[in-house]
Structure 1
């Protein structure tokens, strides 16, 4: 139940990062790649990093929840991931 809340929260976060990439692509009119424009490079990098790290972290948090780890511990780890 706890991880479900954070799953929704991180899904919104990833969608916001995705919209930021789309916005930067429209500003610089770049369909593929990044065109070496720093704001687009940073937007893509942050989006890719989130897509690489958040799913495995949520899976590990779900394993903690299934194994009846303390609730406060799961919250602390999820908040640390978000920060």
Structure 2
């Protein structure tokens, strides 16, 4: 009988769990706004509902790829320090982005910019590290 090799990715799992809580909080925020404005689908033409939807949607668009890349790095033996750094930057960036979307400021919204840039940095850095480690 063959034994199954199990793969453990505890660092990525930690950030996946924390990101999961963030995603649910943002989803609940969309529901709260929709209920408050009596909107059952879409944003009903309300800018604040649209902002809540995009804060959630943008987070959903970036987190999965970043976590997959982190998990692949962890499986391939990347150090915990770099993985924690990626996870912290990803989570902090996503929180910054959500804050920037939900608490709008001037037309130049630094919190949103930091959020997007941090997600891009994590995705690019993990991609480069994966490429280099697989050569």
The two structures have a TM-score, normalised by structure 1, of 0.95
Which protein shows a greater Rg?
A: 2
In the TM superposition, residue 36 of structure 1 has moved relative to its aligned partner by 2.1
Q: Tell me, which stretches of 5 or more residues in structure 2 are unaligned?
A: 1-9, 93-135
Whole-angstrom distance in 1 between the partners of 2:61 and 2:22: 14
Which structure would you say has the larger RCO, counting Cα contacts within 8 Å and 6 or more residues apart?
A: 1
Q: What's the counterpart of residue 28 of structure 2?
A: 19
Structure with greater proportional helix content: 1
Gaps of 5+ in 1: none
State the TM-score, normalized to the length of structure 2. Answer: 0.60
Say whether residues 1:46 and 2:50 are aligned partners.
no
Instruction: Give every structure 1 segment of 4 or more consecutive aligned residues whose post-TM-superposition deviation is greater than 6 Å.
Output: none
Q: Kindly report the root-mean-square deviation, in angstroms, between the aligned alpha carbons of the 2 structures.
A: 0.8
Alignment of 1:1-83 (within 5 A): 1-83=10-92
Partners of 1:39 and 1:68 lie apart in 2 by 43
Secondary structure of the equivalent of 1:35?
coil
What is the aligned partner in structure 1 of residue 122 from structure 2?
none
Q: How many residues are matched?
A: 83
